[in-house]
Amino acid sequence: MDFFRKVLASCLGTTLAIILITFLGFFLLGIVASSVGDTDKITVTGNSVLEINLGDAVNDYTPKSDSPFDKLFEVDQYQLSQIINAIENAKNDDDIKGISILNLTVNAGISQTQTIRDKLVDFKTTGKFITAYADFYTQKNYYLSSVADSIYVTPYGGVDFKGLSSERLFYKDFQEKYGVKMEVIRHGKYKSAVEGYLENEMSAANREQISSFLNSIWSELVEDIAISRNKTVEELNLIADDLLTRNATMAIENNMLDGAIYKDQYEEILNTFVGDEANIVSLEDYIETGKGRIKSSASNKIAVLYAQGDILYGKGDETYIGQESMIKAIRKIRDNDKIKAVVLRVNSPGGVALTADLIWRELEILKKEKPLVVSMGNLAASGGYYIACNADVIYAEPTTITGSIGVFGTIPNFSELAGNMGINAEQVATHKNSIGYSAFEPMTKDFYDVTKEGVEQIYTTFVNRVAEGRDMTFDEVDAVAQGRVWTGKEALEIGLVDVLGNMNDAVEAAAELAEITDYKTTNYPRYKKDFEDSFKGFPFMNVKEKLLKEELGEENYKALKQVKKMSQLKGLQMRLPYDIDIR
């Protein structure tokens, strides 16, 4: 009887699953059809204003999925190149009279924000207007919005303009208190990804590098703001020191804002600019009309190969870099005769050393057949720099975080905790090193020595790869390596990059190396998701994350994620010292 019950339950479960999937399919078709209909309703008339709101995530690469389930549950996000192309098209679109920046926050990295801002500066060369409005300006939002001819805020708003900071957490006392620790093996005095497990306070070397790159990025931001607001860098630094933009009145008095008005009054200003009631066209809608790409009938192509996210061992997708998808893409690019050159767009803090080396090898083979130019985004550090170092030319944004040429390994150890709880681990093995490492026993000197040997070997290989790719000596690279982090501006001075510029500059350089003038770009890797993968984005899959955020708060949740991330690292790592959150 139990057997028949189980069979019946299994059949019933399968039937319900089929019904559910079928229902979702029909529901999905309705949604997709509806969305297509909505696209047809988007109109750009002669009195249009393009509204830029970057509250949704901005990624370097947001490949579109063919799966209908992905279309139903996809997260709102922009691809950086679509934003740049939309602004370029708006510049030449007679129906677009100007741009309105209407952000509360800018959900993009510093380098991405700078790229968008530079494109807005270019937009202004047409004589078209740019205005900005917000209830309150975060620092990054103000940096972007400062490009506008006029900047407005709600009367009770202000500007968070105070300089940059970065905070690190240290866990040494926590480890000693609870008997849970991370065993650390590293090379590089600046490789401070693991410093929090070894010390209770920041080392002088780490403080030096953080101070250096924060000041480098800040100087880049205030120089741009100074030009747009007709102020000196010295004036801006005094304003930041004394918080002279903390309310709307003070910000206007110090010429950081042009007026304190309500949203309806701002809308009247837009109407005045266009000479009629302004037709507001959102950036998302403008992209949906096809303005997120530059049309071309050219047969020659330049491939843009995106390396986005942590470098991990595995397949890879738009959220992390895996050797399988990258190697497959590189070989397809190499075999495609229409592709004349390649731009490797790197936005990665690094990760697994093995994966980085496998990708490096494929790029080395590719470079022998086609020009290879690197464009660095927000991050191109450690393993991210490793895969970039052999390119013909390396471009970086001034605010790119790069370098971090170093290696480390971390292994969790619970021996003290186990001892305190009365747990004893015993092992049986056939050979001296059969067991290797046990998290329930103190790390042995033999294991440490063998692992340290591996770290040193990978570090030496890393430095040699950079030396060969950058035409430098081992000692020259070692002097700027040791795990130290640099900005793109600093990296140019020490020889780790060749030119400061954005991805479009890199594409133009690749075309020049390939000796072509008429071309179009094509994106890689191409990702195909299994049916099971399509359900990973369902809303109920993210309930746990949302609950944790609500209970712990955003900042505490970030700290928890960082600790969990570090504890899950496997193998020797070429990774940025830490998650850099610049505010």
**Residues in CB range of 344: below 8 A, 6 or more apart:** 305, 307, 363, 372, 373, 374, 375, 387, 388, 391
Catalytic-residue membership of 67? no
Given 191, 301, 340, 489, which residue is catalytic? Answer: 191
Amino acid, single-letter form, for residue 398:
P
The kind and range of the H/E element at 210 are helix 204-229
The 3-state DSSP class for residue 119 equals: helix
* End-to-end alpha carbon distance in the chain: 65
Joined tokens for residue 233 = 């860098």
Beta-carbon count within 10 A of 320 CB? 17
CA-closest candidate to residue 410, choices 463, 451, 379, 353: 451
Compute the distance between CA of residue 481 and CA of residue 191 in angstroms, rounded to an integer.
10
Beta-carbon count within 10 A of 208 CB? 12
For 478-532, give the DSSP string: HHH-TT-EEEHHHHHHHTS-SEE--HHHHHHHHHHHHT-SS-EEEEE------HH
Amino acid, single-letter form, for residue 70:
D
Rg (CA), the chain: 26
Given 111, 216, 325, 382, which residue is catalytic? Answer: 382
| Burial zone of 4 (CB within 10 Å; 0-12 exposed, 13-18 middle, 19+ buried) | exposed
The kind and range of the H/E element at 233 are helix 233-241
Catalytic-residue membership of 382? yes
CA torsion through residues 249, 251, 255, 260, sign: negative
DSSP code of residue 126: G
Angle at 152 between CA 147 and CA 154, to 5 degrees: 145
Compute the distance between CA of residue 276 and CA of residue 290 in angstroms, rounded to an integer.
26
Compute CA 42 distance to the chain's CA centroid, rounded to the nearest angstrom. Answer: 30
Compute the distance between CA of residue 383 and CA of residue 393 in angstroms, rounded to an integer.
18
**Residues in CB range of 161: below 8 A, 6 or more apart:** 137, 139, 142, 239, 240, 243, 244, 245, 256
Alpha helices for 336-388 (secondary structure H): 353-367, 383-386
Alpha helices for 124-188 (secondary structure H): 139-145, 172-178
Whether the ω angle into residue 155 lies within 30 degrees of 0, i.e. cis, is no
Catalytic residues: 191, 382
